Amino acid sequence: MKILLLGGGAREHAIAWALNRSPKVEALFAAPGNPGIARFGRCFPIDPCDSAAVLDLVRATGADSVVAGPEAPLVAGVADVLREANVPVFGPGKDGAMLEGSKAFAKRFMERHGIPTAPFDIVFDMEQAEAALRKRTPPYVVKADGLAAGKGAFLPDTLEEALEICRRLLIEGELKEAGKTLVVEDFLPGTEITILAVTDGKTVRQLPSSQDHKRIFDGDRGPNTGGMGAYCPVPWADEDLLDRIQKQILEPTVRGLESEGIDFCGVIYAGLMIDSRRNCRVLEYNVRLGDPEAQVVLSAFPGDWAEVVEAACEKRLHRISWSRTEKTAVGVVLASGGYPGDYRKGYRILGIEEAEKEEGVLVFQAGTRLDSKGALVTSGGRVLTVVGIGNSLDAAREKAYGAASKIGFTDVFFRTDISAKACLPPWGTC
């Protein structure tokens, strides 16, 4: 296989690493890629959302398939243009990407197909918003319909705050078109888990379960971020729970897509809330691997990722299988101090090679670039994901933090409690 990978974050670095391990992969290209991905294949400074440029790059490189990392190219319809030109793509077309691109679409889809999710109202003006909020009790949940880079979900404690948020979105247009339609839904108590699954439109197979850590500070305090770390698998996600998720959520999702004529090839990300009675409800769908979940899930994945991609694109996922992972992975995000607010860039990053010398350590790059002298420097909020792999959560965590301590750049910041709550399921301890 000659694969063109779209995207340039730590998730895409992990995908490149996983593809590169496969004997099936002859060449890898990336658009735009990053200095970490460049170790595995040539990177081209091309906007992955520009369908025409991506198609030209496919032709110029001789790539025979495309793997989409982030959602933006999928929501923009890049996969449709490629498929039209007979290029196989791992990632859905614009229609399937609506599951992530429109929360209102996703909620109505779940309602149509009996997929458990929080009861909701879709509102377009303040009168409807107030009526939807008054039906409910605090904390309130208000979500912008469209893509908002993780900034579109609000959980205000009072009606006044909730109304203010609706006003900012609906009237002041704070999130532009993305906030012109809102979803108001019931607050769901419980514990969150990420289930990633691969589908070819008919068969749907789970990858190891994982948990993200979205808040900036230890103990889940402070503002939300793109994700400060993750681990997999989740110790309390036992066969029974995973089986329920398969039957109540993943299979109805894929059957629902099929019945609506949406041909979906790629990843379904189910962000789930599990309550103390083991009820599973969908908080959100995404149509690609999670970041930072991919960094741990692919590190622990026991199969051949290129084979999975190929089988999904050729609609023969039913013919391949993979075992439950025996490994555990913990990923810690090293961020620029100040993130998710303002931060400085251009600091020299030292110690990656030293950290990677240790068996069971992987370092995936996100906000990095090479300066004019060829030195690796910071260029974003989330700079690296440092992954430790081990036979137990403790071993993996120790590896990840041991490696993180060897890497340095000015103002580096990371959480010290990634995976600390792994044994706290919603029903007690495991």
Q: Which residues bind ligand AMP (CB under 6 A)?
A: 118, 141, 143, 153, 155, 185, 187-188, 192, 271, 283-284
Closest listed residue to residue 240, CA positions, set 270, 277, 198: 277
Binding status of residue 12 toward ligand GLY by CB under 6 A = no
Closest listed residue to residue 33, CA positions, set 56, 59, 3: 3
Closest separation in Å from C-beta 296 to ligand GLY = 11
Pick the stretch among 37-45, 131-139, 290-298, 411-419 that binds ligand GLY (CB under 6 A).
Answer: 290-298
Closest separation in Å from C-beta 177 to ligand GLY = 20
One-letter identity of residue 423: C
Identify the residue among 286, 299, 379, 385 touching ligand GLY (CB under 6 A). 286
Which lies closer to ligand AMP via its Cβ, residue 70 or residue 201?
70
Q: Look at residue 145 and give the partner it binds from ligand AMP, ligand GLY, none, a contact being a CB closer than 5 to 8 Å depending on partner kind.
A: none
* 152 neighbors 200 (Cβ within 8 angstroms): no
Give residue for tokens 């959302």: 49
Q: Look at residue 227 and give the partner it binds from ligand AMP, ligand GLY, none, a contact being a CB closer than 5 to 8 Å depending on partner kind.
A: ligand GLY
Pick the stretch among 109-117, 169-177, 289-297, 380-388 that binds ligand GLY (CB under 6 A).
Answer: 289-297
Q: Look at residue 195 and give the partner it binds from ligand GLY, ligand AMP, none, a contact being a CB closer than 5 to 8 Å depending on partner kind.
A: none
Which lies closer to ligand AMP via its Cβ, residue 31 or residue 104?
104
Which lies closer to ligand GLY via its Cβ, residue 41 or residue 340?
340
Pick the stretch among 103-111, 275-283, 288-296, 328-336 that binds ligand GLY (CB under 6 A).
Answer: 288-296
Q: Look at residue 187 and give the partner it binds from ligand AMP, ligand GLY, none, a contact being a CB closer than 5 to 8 Å depending on partner kind.
A: ligand AMP
**What is the spatial distance between Cα 354 and Cα 356, in angstroms, rounded to a whole number?**
6
Binding track over 218-257 against ligand GLY, x by CB under 6 A: ---------x------------------------------
Paired strand residues for 5: 30, 67
User: What are the structure tokens assigned to 37, written together?
Assistant: 């991905």
Q: How many CB atoms lie within 10 A of CB 253?
A: 24
Q: Look at residue 153 and give the partner it binds from ligand AMP, ligand GLY, none, a contact being a CB closer than 5 to 8 Å depending on partner kind.
A: ligand AMP
Which lies closer to ligand AMP via its Cβ, residue 265 or residue 333?
333
Closest separation in Å from C-beta 218 to ligand AMP = 17
Binding status of residue 92 toward ligand GLY by CB under 6 A = no
Identify the residue among 95, 185, 200, 291 touching ligand GLY (CB under 6 A). 291
User: What are the structure tokens assigned to 222, written together?
Assistant: 């402070």
Q: How many CB atoms lie within 10 A of CB 143?
A: 24
- Residue with the CB atom nearest ligand GLY in the bound state: 290
Pick the stretch among 247-255, 283-291, 372-380, 403-411 that binds ligand GLY (CB under 6 A).
Answer: 283-291
Which lies closer to ligand GLY via its Cβ, residue 286 or residue 378?
286
Q: Look at residue 72 and give the partner it binds from ligand AMP, ligand GLY, none, a contact being a CB closer than 5 to 8 Å depending on partner kind.
A: none
Number of residues that bind ligand GLY (CB under 6 A): 6
Closest separation in Å from C-beta 215 to ligand AMP = 9
Identify the residue among 35, 201, 290, 360 touching ligand GLY (CB under 6 A). 290
* 289 neighbors 267 (Cβ within 8 angstroms): yes
Q: Which residues bind ligand GLY (CB under 6 A)?
A: 212, 227, 286, 290-291, 293
